């Protein structure tokens, strides 16, 4: 199983400016929807290992970054391609919904 690294605001730029695809899950501790979505995000990370980098960021602990990106609800997954936002999705989606959402992002 892939380990999903938690990143901080200080790491944000270097992580998203990678040449490949980076997905960042924004969550908060104690969020029921985030807890339900966590296993789905882990499964995606396993399925797409080598095709994208999967990380996560606590929106409360990194409030400035979350505000800068317009994160209004959690969980929210933002996909970046070479530093630019490609798309985002909010809510505890199913594995099938997330696979469909990733189709236009991943080569």
Known active-site residue 34: yes
Give pLDDT tens digits along the chain (107 positions).
667 999 999 999 999 998 899 999 999 999 999 999 999 999 999 999 999 999 999 999 999 999 999 999 999 999 999 899 999 999 999 999 999 999 999 87
Closest by alpha carbon to 57, among 79, 88, 31, 25?
A: 25
Closest by alpha carbon to 91, among 51, 48, 33?
A: 33
CB atoms within 10 A of CB 83: 12
CATH number of 5-99: 3.40.30.10
Cα 62 to its chain centre, rounded Å, is 14
CA 73, 45, 86, 5 torsion-angle sign: positive
Q: Which of 7, 34, 74, 98 is an active site residue?
A: 34
Known active-site residue 31: yes
What pLDDT does residue 83 have?
92
Q: Which of 6, 9, 15, 31 is an active site residue?
A: 31
């Amino acid at each position: 199983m892939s380990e999903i690294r938690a990143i901080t605001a200080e790491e944000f730029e270097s992580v998203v400016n990678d040449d490949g695809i980076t997905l960042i899950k924004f969550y908060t501790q104690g969020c029921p929807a985030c807890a339900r979505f966590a296993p789905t995000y882990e499964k995606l990370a396993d399925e797409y290992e080598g095709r994208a980098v999967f990380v996560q960021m606590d929106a409360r602990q990194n409030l400035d970054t979350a505000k800068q990106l317009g994160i209004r609800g959690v969980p929210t997954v933002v996909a970046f391609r070479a530093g630019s936002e490609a798309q985002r999705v909010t809510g505890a989606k199913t594995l099938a919904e997330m696979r469909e959402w990733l189709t236009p992002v991943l080569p």
